[in-house]
Structure 1
Amino acid sequence: MTKVNNLSSLLHSLETRTEGEMVSVREMLNAVGRRSYGPILLLLGFIAVSPLTIIPGATWLVAILTILIAGQILIGRKFPWIPSRLLKIEFPRSALLQGIQFADPYVCQVDRFLKPRLTILTSPLFAPFVALICIAAAVLTIPLGLVPFGPLLPGLTVLLFGLALTARDGFMLILAALGLAGAAWLLFRLWTRISAAFT
């Protein structure tokens, strides 16, 4: 299996290790590695910002999976577990390939930025902090899923956390936290406008 340690290897694995018209959650996880939290969070973050989320319910499915995976990090589970019912859910592979094609021009630039630094932030000591922020991002995704492009910021947060864990880049964790702050601000602004409309 291809080792996923950056965005390029993730996209390469998704493209070469899946086939057919439909691709299941199980196949995508198998392509990137189901026994490591970093690549799974990276995959979920990529899905959250890809054309796959135009499929009805996909945004909330990604949010549920993120909460499930991050929750297991929080309780200290060594290897991630996902219910078989969720593993069987399928998406059009064409949407996955479209997302890969869209991301391709930016992949090298992102990977060039990654490097091991502030590695203590990616150590088990800070794992609960990482998990809580991923859970918060997923929770924010649920109401923001009703807004066009609303889930983009929380999805980007999860993507950055996945990159940080796979590359052991603590600075990327800081950027991810800023992404969550942006998502929270967006939700606050949305709530303020909705409240103003009904008063």
Structure 2
Amino acid sequence: MTETSHPVEDVLDKTDALLEGRKDYLEVAELMDELGVKSIAAVLVAPSLALVSPLSGIPLFSSACGITIALISGQMLMGRKHLWLPDFLSRRALSAKATQKATRGLRRVAAWMDRKFKKRFQSLLTPPFLRVIQVICLLCGLMMPFLELLPFTSSILGAVVALLAVSMLTGDGLIALVTVTLLALGLGGVAFQLM
């Protein structure tokens, strides 16, 4: 993906372009290949945004997205430039109709993100803080299959990963810092309630 002022909408545009004229299914591998040409962060945006769309209501969809997020984040941590996904994930098919509906529903969110995210505090998107962001995305992805039965939890974690992925994609360290801080406060509040 070339660098533009609308990186999140570009992810949706690429998805819509792949869906154009299809009446059946889109394989995950096709979408990941298209998005991953220039940026693994762009690939991370797709499953995380999908989790805050109506697609998250499909049984086991949250688990598949969580495993995908964990695999992508793990490869980012290892510094890989080319993405690998196992066959059972890369060959998973998404309904063209449901995916088009989801991308339409996410347009407003994507436009808002593209307006708000700017190149700020870019030093926070370099190691060691970048590694913290990638580890958070990895852990969120790993947790999703275990939270499949709890309503909205995968969407909340998907929103966290989406914000962090878009911050990496756009170079906005401020959004990453705010997201990590709010996540830490939220987890602290949960831990306090359990004590």
The CA distance in 1 between the partners of 2:185 and 2:86, in whole Å, is: 31
User: What residue number does 2:152 align with?
Assistant: 149
Point out where structure 1 has 5 or more consecutive residues left out of the alignment: 193-199
The CA distance in 2 between the partners of 1:22 and 1:108, in whole Å, is: 26
The CA distance in 2 between the partners of 1:101 and 1:186, in whole Å, is: 35
Secondary structure, counterpart of 1:116 in structure 2: coil
The answer as to whether partners of 1:3 and 1:9 remain within 8 angstroms in 2 is no
Match runs of 1:49-198 below 5 Å: 49-178=52-181, 180-181=183-184, 184=187
Compute the TM-score of the two structures, normalised by the length of structure 2. 0.84
The CA distance in 2 between the partners of 1:135 and 1:186, in whole Å, is: 22
Secondary structure, counterpart of 2:94 in structure 1: strand
User: What residue number does 2:15 align with?
Assistant: 14
1:120-143 deviations in whole A, cap 9, x for unaligned?
122254332122110121233233
Stretch of structure 1 that moved more, 75-84 or 42-51: 75-84
**Could you say if the C-alpha distance between residues 56 and 185 of structure 1 is closer, same or farther in structure 2, counting changes exceeding 3 Å?**
farther
User: What residue number does 2:36 align with?
Assistant: 33
**AA matched with 2:69:** T
**AA matched with 1:44:** P
Compute the TM-score of the two structures, normalised by the length of structure 1. 0.83
Stretch of structure 1 that moved more, 108-117 or 15-24: 15-24
Cα RMSD (Å) = 2.5
Secondary structure, counterpart of 2:26 in structure 1: strand
**Could you say if the C-alpha distance between residues 107 and 142 of structure 1 is closer, same or farther in structure 2, counting changes exceeding 3 Å?**
same
Secondary structure, counterpart of 2:19 in structure 1: coil
The answer as to whether partners of 1:156 and 1:179 remain within 8 angstroms in 2 is no
The CA distance in 2 between the partners of 1:109 and 1:35, in whole Å, is: 23
Point out where structure 2 has 5 or more consecutive residues left out of the alignment: none
The CA distance in 2 between the partners of 1:170 and 1:160, in whole Å, is: 11
The CA distance in 1 between the partners of 2:183 and 2:37, in whole Å, is: 25
- 1:2 CA displacement: 5.9
- 1:3 CA displacement: 5.3
